[in-house]
Amino acid sequence: MIAIVVAAVFFAGMGIYGLVLPAALVRPFGIVASGPDARNEVRAVYGGFGLAIAGLLVAAAFDDGIRRGAVIAVAVALGGMAAGRLIGAVRDRPRAFYPSWFYFCVEVVLGGVLWFAVS
């Protein structure tokens, strides 16, 4: 239950940050969200999605009926994100640990912790 709430807080933080400061959220990756369409995309993918996942995890923390399926779905999504970063790192080597490898580690750890929380 604690692992689920911690992951929910992480996604909520990402979601709020993505909604409020979309350009700042993607800047460490070298992405410039200079126009309204770009900021709208960041708000949708990081903001809205992050808050939706946070809400799902909060619901899963308190509802035994959806816990296992919801948490496995989020764990698998995090694993997919980490796999995408790993493939990206093979093709285009990150210049530094932060941000790519840092978030790779976050995704692997959170995904693994969630997976084992319902196993």
The phi-psi region of residue 94 (left if phi > 0; otherwise alpha if psi is between -120 and 50; otherwise beta) is: beta
End-to-end CA distance of the chain: 12
Short-list 11, 6, 9, 40, CA closest to 23: 40
In percent, the amount of the chain with pLDDT more than 70 equals: 100
Q: Structural domain of residue 77, as residue ranges?
A: 1-117
Q: What pLDDT, on the 0 to 100 scale, is given for residue 94?
A: 93
What is the spatial distance between Cα 108 and Cα 77, in angstroms, rounded to a whole number? 10
Q: What is the pLDDT of residues 73-85, one digit of tens each?
A: 999 999 999 999 9
Report the SS3 class of residue 84: helix
The identity of residue 76, as a single letter, is V
Q: How confident is the model at residue 72 (pLDDT cuts 50, 70, 90)?
A: very high
Split into its structural domains, the chain has a count of 1
Buried b (16+ CB within 10 A) or exposed e, 17-31: bbbebbeebbeeeee
pTM of the model: 0.91
Q: Is the separation of the CB atoms in 7 and 74 below 8 Å? A: yes
